[in-house]
């Protein structure tokens, strides 16, 4: 007899060809509401002065929403251009046939990467003199020129040239045959805070740098400074373009900015119940028995876990919506599964859909709810959902 290890598994033809379960509501998934996304883009665009451009920030796979589809929907509804963080993210969009301008917010330094930026017609951020020289020299070897975006550091202390040295960077880039200045920009460190002190300081520094540049006879073709928070909180930061990420996805950068615009959440996280059982009083639930049934308790097992992006630190603190009711999650969240306490739900069966983030009836659970419990920000929650969860676009 052959041990099971040695047996050949013979897949039927139909199994080999039907891979639709990879993008189906099979176990756990993310639903992306493209109507909500379109609404948010139009709402944001309507909030801007007519000549102000909207750059849709879709780095990190559009904050977990799926970069290609989000890009197409945003562009079709009024976004003027796109921003991503890495070369690979830009190439993915070009390979999908997207032809709009694409700004790379992150740093590109290596010669091979510079060549790829040019080949894929992406637009780099130039944050210092060495980078400007490297780009110019490499572009010369391939006989290409590129629009480039110069980054000033006005107080974030991340990428960019110190705002007081803007003129030397601009003077250098202006004299380089293969670099065409497309814009000058900077980034806020505290635009989501209600205290505007540092935001105003950065804004002033940006204006001072631009004023200084103008005295040298240089007229910047485009200026941009605002992320979602600054877009919502201060119109004087809009300049020629705003770079909006979070708000596209229907979330607010801070609670005090909620009243500005009516944005709709785009992403929902759902999973199916896989088993329902009743455990006796005193029985423990999950690893480490972090939940002990206080009485006979009905438990629903759900096919989603921390390997999908549900943080284990939410164990015993999470809620879910099942059959239009909020129910508590109990015990440690495991890699692929978690448990809910569903005592009062009658006739609950495997296959029932659970909403972990999303809306049902008048109930809603947002990425902000998770972020608040974890002492982090909604950006991190959205980016934390893994590719194991198929994105389903509605």
Ligand X SMILES: *Cc1c(COP(=O)(O)O)cnc(C)c1O
Give 220 or 245: the residue with its C-beta nearer to ligand X.
Answer: 245
Minimal distance in Å, beta carbon 246 to ligand X? Answer: 4
Figure out which of the listed residues 34, 44, 57, 79 binds ligand X, where binding follows CB under 6 A: 57
Pairing between β-strand 179-185 and β-strand 338-341 as defined by DSSP bridges:
unpaired
Minimal distance in Å, beta carbon 357 to ligand X? Answer: 18
Figure out which of the listed residues 232, 246, 302, 381 binds ligand X, where binding follows CB under 6 A: 246
Minimal distance in Å, beta carbon 156 to ligand X? Answer: 8
Phi, psi (rounded to 5 degrees) for 347 = 55, 30
- 252 catalytic, yes or no? no
Q: Is 227 in the site for ligand X (CB under 6 A)?
A: yes
Count interface residues toward ligand X (CB under 6 A): 12
Figure out which of the listed residues 45, 53, 187, 203 binds ligand X, where binding follows CB under 6 A: 187
- 249 catalytic, yes or no? no
Q: Is 253 in the site for ligand X (CB under 6 A)?
A: yes
Report which residue's Cβ sits closest to ligand X: 245
Contact flags string 105-144 toward ligand X, x per CB under 6 A: x---------------------------------------
Q: Smallest Cα–Cα separation from 248: which of 52, 42, 90, 99? A: 42
Candidate list 59, 270, 272, 298, residue with the active-site label: 59
Q: Cα dist. 101→120, 138, 155 in Å? A: 11, 21, 27
Q: Is 75 in the site for ligand X (CB under 6 A)?
A: no
Element (H, E) at 105: none
Tell me how far apart the alpha carbons of residues 303 and 56 are, in angstroms, rounded to a whole number. 33
Q: Is 64 in the site for ligand X (CB under 6 A)?
A: no
Element (H, E) at 141: helix 129-142
Q: Is 149 in the site for ligand X (CB under 6 A)?
A: no
Q: Is 286 in the site for ligand X (CB under 6 A)?
A: no
Q: Name the segment binding ligand X (CB under 6 A); options: 44-52, 136-144, 207-215, 227-235.
A: 227-235
Q: Cα dist. 119→57, 110, 198, 304 in Å? A: 22, 14, 39, 41
Locate the DSSP E strands across the chain.
28-32, 53-57, 81-84, 102-104, 123-126, 146-153, 161-162, 179-185, 223-224, 241-244, 267-279, 284-285, 291-292, 297-302, 319-322, 325-330, 338-341, 353-360, 363-365, 391-393
Give 73 or 334: the residue with its C-beta nearer to ligand X.
Answer: 73
Minimal distance in Å, beta carbon 158 to ligand X? Answer: 8
Are 322 and 361 in contact, with CB atoms under 8 Å apart? Answer: no
Q: Is 263 in the site for ligand X (CB under 6 A)?
A: no
Give 59 or 272: the residue with its C-beta nearer to ligand X.
Answer: 59
Alpha carbon dihedral 228, 104, 370, 261, in 10-degree steps, equals 20
Q: Cα dist. 59→63, 246, 256 in Å? A: 6, 11, 25
Binding site for ligand X (CB under 6 A): 57, 59, 105, 187, 227-229, 243-246, 253
So which residues are the catalytic ones? 59, 287
């Amino acid at each position: 007899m052959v041990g099971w290890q040695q047996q050949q598994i013979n897949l039927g033809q139909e199994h080999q060809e039907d891979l639709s379960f990879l993008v189906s509501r099979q176990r756990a998934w993310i639903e992306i509401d493209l109507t909500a996304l379109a609404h948010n883009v139009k709402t944001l665009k309507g909030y801007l002065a007519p000549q102000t451009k909207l750059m849709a920030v879709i780095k990190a796979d559009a904050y977990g929403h799926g970069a290609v589809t989000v890009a197409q929907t945003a562009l079709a509804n009024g976004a003027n251009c796109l921003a991503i963080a890495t070369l690979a993210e830009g190439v993915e969009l070009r390979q999908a046939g997207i032809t709009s301008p694409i700004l790379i917010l992150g740093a590109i330094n290596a010669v091979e990467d510079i060549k790829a930026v040019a080949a894929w017609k992406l637009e780099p951020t130039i944050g210092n003199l060495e980078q400007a020289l490297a780009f110019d020299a490499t572009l010369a070897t391939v006989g290409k020129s590129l629009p480039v975006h110069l980054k000033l550091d006005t107080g974030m202390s991340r990428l960019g040239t110190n705002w007081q040295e803007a003129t030397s960077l601009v003077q250098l880039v202006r004299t380089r045959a293969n670099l065409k200045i497309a814009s000058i920009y900077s980034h806020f460190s505290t635009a989501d805070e209600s205290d505007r002190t540092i935001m105003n300081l950065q804004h002033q520094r940006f204006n001072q740098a631009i004023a200084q540049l103008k005295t040298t006879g240089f007229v910047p073709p485009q200026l941009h400074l605002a992320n979602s928070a600054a877009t919502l909180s201060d119109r004087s930061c809009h300049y020629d373009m705003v770079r909006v990420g979070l708000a596209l996805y229907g979330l607010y950068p801070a609670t005090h900015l909620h009243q500005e615009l009516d944005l709709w959440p785009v992403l929902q996280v759902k999973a199916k119940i896989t088993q329902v059982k009743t455990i006796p009083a005193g029985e423990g639930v999950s690893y480490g028995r972090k939940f002990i049934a206080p009485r006979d308790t009905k438990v629903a097992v759900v096919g989603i876990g921390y390997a999908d992006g549900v943080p284990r630190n939410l164990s015993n603190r999470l809620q879910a919506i099942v059959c239009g009711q909020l129910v508590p999650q109990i015990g440690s969240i495991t890699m692929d599964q978690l448990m809910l306490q569903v005592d009062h739900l009658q006739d609950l069966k495997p296959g029932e859909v659970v909403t972990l983030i999303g809306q049902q009836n008048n109930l809603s659970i947002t990425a902000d709810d998770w972020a608040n419990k974890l002492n982090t920000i909604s950006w991190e929650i959205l980016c934390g959902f893994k590719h194991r969860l198929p994105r389903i676009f509605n």
